[in-house]
Structure formats: structure tokens, C-alpha cells
Structure 1
Amino acid sequence: MTKTLWTKDFIRITLATSLGAAGGIISGFALSFLVFDETGSTLASALVVAIQLLPGAVLPLLIAPLMDRYPRKPFLVGGDTVNALLYALAGVYLLRCEFSYTVYLGFSLLLACLSAFDELAYSSFYPLILPEGTEEKGYTVSSMLYPVLKVLMMPVAAVLFDTLGVARLLLVQSALSLLSALIENKITVAETPRGGERFSLRLWWEDLREAAAYLKREKGLRALYDYMAVTNGMAAGYSPLLIAFFRTAPGFTAAMYSFFSVAEFAGRSLGGVVRYRYTLPEKKRFPFIFAVYQIYEMMDVLLLWLPYPLMLANRAVCGFLGINSATIRQAAVQRYLPDPLRARINAYESVLITAASAVLSLAVGALGEVMDYRLCVSLCAALTLLFCWLSVFRRRGAVREVLRGKEAA
């Protein structure tokens, strides 16, 4: 009998995620304008972004051992409930008090901590909801939610921002987060906590060492994590360079750059439909994913040297291939990971990508100060391509085993 992906629990987690994402897009849009409108400083806005990166580099490793020892649903529900409370307090504060940049920095830090907490809880809990054999479809759906909602909600956010104002939009986000928590609380999937002795600092340290020992012998996982950290870190550095290129290169405009996201969305949407309908055989996963990584980096090498219509085609192809490789990798890796270690290993990946993004984005930005923007992007993409060979291809035997997705205990 064929198993269906769309169980009651999957519908609940998808609906809850959609509500949370929609609210996050609306509030994020409002808050991004709030700081600049109140301070008139791009540095003040940049400092907020920098502060929001800090929890993602530390917090997941601190809380992951707890999530591996206790049921994860309460973490997910509790996180969204606290999120609702914070946004409600922020909305009431802005309705009654003057804006304070110092208070906003503290609020941003709290939200970033909560976001890191929520993301880890979600990534560790979500695989438990997917029926066996439906993992790729499940990750295709989850990968499509945010880009689709962003396209739909950004115009709505702009209208609501002008009509309701920031404070009331934060109250809307609060209501959506609370509704999301209530829906998540209805999920009935069974979890098997490890239990054992009372949690302590010594036990926390032993749990981290257990995860480190597991990663030490898992060369395939490390190869994939290392490559994803580098390619994501480089991509974070490309963004300001692309903006600078479109602002300064003759014949290009900021509006033209905005269509990159449209092209990527179109490619991701088509790729998501293909991935949902068709499953790639096990033996073809590694060749496909490795080929996608090569094409993706070569597309970045060529991007700024192409005529504008081909730039858009470039982004669409990357969107199409990117969602296909990402869902195959995510589904396989989560199947492969032993559930008692899942939160800690996911935390390692999160911390590694956050740290790489912080370091490499600064490095790429500094390189852009002394090098032509096109040359800079091409050079960094070529180095990432080389790193892919030194990590993923070099450990191809171990990576193939991970992509089979059948080794989880």
C-alpha cells in the first residue's frame, strides 16, 4: 500500500509553518524599515543584522543536547508561544512609547535567539512527521513554502505597513505565532525520549562529545557540511557585490537586480513541481548532486559576464537545480542520522554555516574593495568549485553512503 505524505500531522506542521512564515515576512518587512526610518543610518541597520547572527553561531550547540534527550514538540510549541508573547509586547510598546534603538537591539537579540531555537527544534522534529518513503516530497514542500509565501506576502506587507503601521503589524505577527503554536500542539506523532539520569552540565558535555565522536567517523557527512558551509558563506558575500555591480555598472539598475529573485523563484517553483512528482533512484543521487554543484558554481563564475537576459536565465537554472539537489540532500541526510543524535548534528551544521557566512561574507566584501566586482565573484565561485572537488568528490564513497539515507540507527 502506497503511503501518503499528506497525513493529519503533515498538514498541521505545514499549516503552522505557513502561518509562522507569513507573519515573519510581514513583521520582517516592517522592522527592516523601522530602524532606518527612526535612525536614518545604514550602520544602525547593519549592526542589527550583525547582532542577529550571533545566536546562530552559539545557541544551537548549547541547547541541542537537551533536544536530543527530551521530546522536541514542546520545544517547538513553546518557542512559537514565546515568539507570540515577544511580538505582542513589542507591538504594545511601540503603540505607547517612543522608539528606542537600544531597546530594539535587545529585542532583535531575543528574536534571533528564539529563531535559532525554533529552527533547531523544527529541523529535528520535522523528519519524524514524514512517513517512510515520502521524505523527498516532504522536503520539497517545506523548501517551497517560504519562497512562495514571500512572493505572495511582500505586496501585502507593503500595503499593511502603510495602512496599519509597524506596531499593529507586530500584533498581527503575535497572533499568527500563537495560532501556529496551537496547531503544532495538535500534532500526535510519537517520540521516544532518551531519558536516563537527570540532566547536568557533565551530561551536556558528554552528549556533545558523543556527537563529536560520531562526526569524526562520518567523513561523508563532514564533506557535505563543509561544502555547504563554504558555498553558503560565499553566497552571503556575493549579495553586496551584486548590489554594487548593478548600482555602478553602465546600463544596469537596481530594478534589474530585483528581477533576479523573480527568476530564481520561477526556477525553484518548476524544480519543486518536478521533484515532487519524480523520485531519483539511489544510484543516481550522487552523480546528480555533484553535477548540480559543478553547474551551480560555474553559473556563478559566468553570472556577471553575461548579457542581462542570460543572467536571468542563469538564476532560473540555479533555482531549478538548487531545490532539486537540496531536497534530495536534506531528505537523505535526515534519514541517515540516528534520531538520538539528530538535534546535535543539525546544530553542528547550523553553527558551521553561520560561522562560515560571517567570515566569508566579510572576506568577499573586503576583496570587492580592491578588485573588480565581476572578477571577485568569478574568483570566489571558482575557489568554491575547487573546494567541492576537495571535499565532496574526494570523499565520494562516504558521501554516496549518506545519500543512500539508510544508515540511521
Structure 2
Amino acid sequence: MPYFIRSELYTLQDFSFLITAGSVGRIIGGFIHYLFKYPPKKRYIIAVTVYLTVELFSATMLYMPYFVMITLSFLVGLLSVTSYNIRMTATQLYIPAHMRGRINSTQGLLWNIGAILGALIIGFIAEYTTYDYRLIMLLSASKSVVAIFLIPIRMKSEFVKIYNADI
């Protein structure tokens, strides 16, 4: 949002359309998951491809023309639902039924704590440095790409067992 507030080219209305495109993407992605089942043996590769694609789109979005930003925001929303559903479905297979609620709530809490801390850190950097907002987003997404390589890609054999399980 600060990028759009301080932009000479864009407005908050442009930002709201960008956010709306992402929301519409998530809604449509949710409907797709009711109609289409991903092949079990392809879930890991789909998930990792989606993780990397979402980060690439997020890192470069603010460098694109506005109509491309809208398209990328829509695709990020659509793909985010895909990775979320694959991850949640796969992990639920390994958790006993009596613990699923606790695991889900703990996982949600940890995701939210991470999101809050990330927003605070990035906000602090944006507020107290002279870095361009686009560069901050690029560097932030780069950290996520490193994490993708260090966790699901480096630990592929463990992730394949979980993600590719036939449910």
C-alpha cells in the first residue's frame, strides 16, 4: 500500500483493484478445488512449483505495467489456494483425528505470528530506510525463495512422502 500511496502514477484505488484481483483469484481457486483433484504423484512438484511461482510473481509484480500487476495478483491468489490445499490435505493424513484441531490451530497461529512479524520488519525497513518499496518486496520474496530451497526442495524425500500420499 505505501508504494501506491507515494506513487505519482498509481492511487489507492489502483491498490484496491490489485487486492480485489487476488481475492477473486482465491475464490476461483477454491471452486476449482471442488471440481478438480490433483494426481497424487504430482502434488509435491505442483506445490513446489506453485511456491516458487508465487514468490517470483510477488517479487516482480511492482515492476510490471498495471494490467500485468492485476493479472499476477489474480494468479497469486489462484495459486495460493492450490498450495494451501495441497499442504493442509497432506499434513492432515499424518495427524490422528483427535489432534487435527489442535494442529490446525497451532499451525494457523504460527502462520499469523510469522505474517505479523514479517509485516513489522518490512514496515520498519520501509519507514526508516531509503530503499525503494519495490526493492524491499523483491528482497523479501528472495528470502522466501531461499526458504523454499532450504526446506521443501532440500528435504524432498520427506515432503514427497507426505505430499504425494494418495488420500
The verdict on how the C-alpha distance between 1:249 and 1:320 changes in structure 2, with shifts beyond 3 A counting, is same
Whole-Å separation in 1 of the counterparts to 2:27 and 2:116: 29
Q: Secondary structure at the match of 1:251?
A: coil
Matches within 5 A, 1:389-404: 389-404=149-164
The answer to whether the 8 Å contact 2:5/2:11 transfers is yes
Aligned to 1:287: 45
Q: CA deviation at 1:392?
A: 1.2
Question: Which position in structure 2 is the counterpart of 1:269?
Answer: 27
Q: Which amino acid aligns with 2:143?
A: L
Cα distance between partner residues in 1 of 2:26 and 2:113: 26
| Structure 2 gap segments, 5+ residues each | none
Counterparts of 1:11-22 in structure 2, within 5 Å, are none
Contact 1:266 1:316 in 2 (8 A): yes
- Structure 2 residue identity aligned to 1:328: I
Q: Whole-Å Cα distance in 1 between the matches of residues 137 and 10 of structure 2?
A: 17
Task: Please report how far the alpha carbon of residue 357 of structure 1 lies from its aligned counterpart in structure 2 after TM superposition.
Answer: 2.2
2:116 matches 1:367: no
Within-5 A mapping of 1:209-220: none
The 5 Å alignment of 1:348-367 reads: 348-367=106-125
What's 2:140 paired with? 380
Map 1:167-206; keep pairs closer than 5 Å: none
Deviations 1:227-277 (A, max 9, x none): xxxxxxxxxxxxxxxx11101111100011000122113322332333221
Query: Does structure 1 retain, via aligned residues, the 8 Å contact 2:42–2:164?
Result: no
Instruction: Provide, for residues 126-171 of structure 1, a one-character-per-residue CA deviation record: whole Å limited to 9, x for no partner.
Output: xxxxxxxxxxxxxxxxxxxxxxxxxxxxxxxxxxxxxxxxxxxxxx
Q: Return the alpha-carbon distance in structure 2 between the equivalents of residues 284 and 377 of structure 1.
A: 30
What are the ranges of 5 or more consecutive residues in structure 1 without an aligned counterpart?
1-242
Quote the Cα distance in structure 1 between the aligned partners of 2:152 and 2:89.
Answer: 17
Q: TM-score, normalised by structure 2?
A: 0.90
Which segments of structure 1 move beyond 6 Å, counting only runs of 4 or more? none
Structure with bigger gyration radius: 1
Taking a change above 3 Å as real, the CA distance of residues 312 and 286 of structure 1, as seen in their structure-2 partners, is: same
- Highest RCO, 1 vs 2 (Cα 8 Å, sep ≥ 6): 2
Judging changes above 3 Å, is the alpha-carbon distance between structure 1 residues 386 and 251 closer, same or farther for their aligned structure 2 residues? Answer: same
Q: Distance in 2 between matches of 1:340 and 1:288?
A: 29
Q: 1:312 aligns with which of 70, 77, 84?
A: 70
Q: How large is the RMSD of aligned CA atoms in angstroms? A: 1.8
1:297 paired residue number: 55
Which residue identity does 2:120 align to in structure 1?
L
Q: TM-score normalized by structure 1? A: 0.38
Residues matched between the structures, number: 165
Deviation, structure 1 residue 349: 1.3
1:270-307 Cα offsets, whole Å, 9 max, x none, are 32333221111111000000000000000111011011
Equivalent AA in structure 1 for residue 40 of structure 2: E
C-alpha deviation, 1:359, in angstroms: 2.0
Instruction: Return the letter of the residue paired with 1:353.
Output: W
Q: C-alpha displacement at 1:406, in angstroms?
A: 6.3
